[in-house]
Amino acid sequence: MSSSLRRRIATLFLSLLLVPVMVLPATAHTSLSSSIPAAGQSLQEFPQVIELVFSEPLLTIGGDGTNYFELLGPEGDLIALGSIEVDGAEVRAQVFGADFEPGSYRIAYRVVAGDGHVITGESSFTYQSEIGAELGESEGGSSDSAKGSESRNDRSILVLAILILITASVAVGLLLRSGERHS
């Protein structure tokens, strides 16, 4: 093997090692870490406060309106919330009202991460009144599991894997092509 071929192989190998290092900072965006109520949770008492916790502190620009969420009932109707409070990575609001309908509730959010990226998503929980929960248990029924917010980390890993595969394919192609020239 010639020294120029060895040098090319070493360069390609180092390039492959650097791809994840260059991509990771770009994909490390803020995401929803947890919520109260938790995604998919089934409740017998309606929550008095909704709280979202993100992986990094949120950006607040000019006070109100930058970071917010809505609580949507089973029919898509808006549930009244108090003023949205932002404290670092946490966003919360008090829930107003009574006599909530049993069913699946969605928390739709839009926040601005510390790096300026707008993050949108949703989380769901199920509310069963105590009477509905007793009926479900006596009939052997179970509540619908609510879907949580889509994880941005899963997409980041997928993008990283695709970039590594593309880089590896190019490297193999270049190696095969340079091997054909020397034959």
Pick the CATH number of 32-149 from 2.60.40.1220, 2.30.42.10, 1.10.760.10, 3.40.50.300: 2.60.40.1220
Structure confidence by residue, pLDDT tens digits, 120-157: 999 999 999 876 545 554 444 433 333 333 444 566 67
Cβ atoms 95, 112 nearer than 8 A: no
Choose among 32, 19, 12: nearest CA to 160: 19
**pLDDT averaged over the chain?**
80
Amino acid letter, 102 = P
Structure confidence by residue, pLDDT tens digits, 39-73: 999 999 999 999 999 999 999 877 667 899 999 99
Choose among 130, 146, 182, 136: nearest CA to 35: 146
Q: Where are the domains of the chain?
A: 3-27+158-182, 32-149
Using only C-alpha atoms, what is the Rg of the chain?
25
What confidence tier does 23 reach under pLDDT thresholds 50, 70, 90? low
Task: Please report the pLDDT score of residue 143 as a whole number.
Answer: 38
What is the reported pTM?
0.59
- Which contiguous run of DSSP H or E holds residue 135? helix 130-138
Amino acid letter, 158 = L
